[in-house]
């Protein structure tokens, strides 16, 4: 059962990753340039905010899969009790300390920074609209 849960979580991550990569390209090539002009700043902010949810779900799924693979049920349940967000830091710790993959730990951390960065930037830009 343990392998099945980690496998399905990482399969969902594998499905969402290409979608998140396309969204990241849209953020960089379309939404960030739109934020430069006052008239389109609100649209860019909403787009960034919505993209942050896709980035967050993708990061959360990877964190959940790595947490479960590294720490089992205990780590998964404990991570869920930390407002659901605990799976991402537990995933970083599990990748680094239990699995021994520094690259995977850095990947999860960078994905979390991108997710939170786009969310806060989107909120900031949406707040700065000329309504």
pLDDT digit string, tens, across residues 88-120: 999 999 999 988 889 999 999 999 999 999 999
- pLDDT for 84 equals 64
Q: CA end-to-end span of the chain, whole Å?
A: 53
Q: Which domain holds residue 6?
A: 2-127
pTM above 0.85, yes or no: yes
37-62 pLDDT per residue, tens: 988 899 999 999 999 999 999 999 99
Total domain count for the chain?
Answer: 1
The per-residue pLDDT for 2 is: 63
Model pLDDT, residue 28: 96
Residue 83's pLDDT band, with cuts at 50, 70 and 90, is: low
State how far the Cα of 62 lies from the Cα of 13, in Å rounded to an integer.
Answer: 6
Residue 106: other Cβ atoms inside 10 A: 13
């Amino acid at each position: 059962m343990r392998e099945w849960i980690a496998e399905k979580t990482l399969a969902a991550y594998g499905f969402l990753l290409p979608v998140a990569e396309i969204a990241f390209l849209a953020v960089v090539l379309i939404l960030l340039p739109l934020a430069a002009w006052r008239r389109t700043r609100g649209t860019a902010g909403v787009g960034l905010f919505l993209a942050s949810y896709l980035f967050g779900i993708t990061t959360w799924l990877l964190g959940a899969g790595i947490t479960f693979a590294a720490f089992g049920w205990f780590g998964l349940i404990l991570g869920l009790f930390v407002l659901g967000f605990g799976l991402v830091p537990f995933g970083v710790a599990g990748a680094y300390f239990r699995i021994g993959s520094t690259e995977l730990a850095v990947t999860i951390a960078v994905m979390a920074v991108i997710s939170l960065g786009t969310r806060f930037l989107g909120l900031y830009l949406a707040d700065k609209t000329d309504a």
